[in-house]
Amino acid sequence: MKLLVNGVQRHTSEGATVASLVAEVTETDVEPGGRGMAVAVDAEVVPRSSWESTALRDGQRIEILVAIQGG
């Protein structure tokens, strides 16, 4: 299945969820209580509590945002 992730076309397996995509893209484990990351699917924010259950479909646009500290 093809997705547009942060403006770049990406292929992922059928049955992918927001949680599995985040783990794949960021190369980290997705912690349920983690902070500093947000995901929008087709311009709608997906609450972290729904990442595991939110299935992705071919052609969707996903934005993954990570907050970083700096000054």
Domain that holds residue 32: 2-66
Contact 64, 22 (CB under 8 A): yes
Distance CA 46, CA 11 (A): 20
Distance CA 36, CA 29 (A): 14
Distance CA 67, CA 2 (A): 26
* 71 lies in some domain: no
Given a cut of 90, is residue 31 above it in pLDDT?
no
pTM for this model (two decimals): 0.85
* 12 lies in some domain: yes
Choice between 68 and 8, residue whose per-residue pLDDT is larger: 8
Given a cut of 80, is residue 17 above it in pLDDT?
yes
* 47 lies in some domain: yes
Q: The CATH number of the domain where 41 resides is what?
A: 3.10.20.30
Distance CA 4, CA 61 (A): 5
**Which run of H or E residues covers position 37?**
strand 37-41
CA 56 to chain CA mean position, Å: 9
What's the structural domain count of the chain? Answer: 1
pLDDT at 19: 92
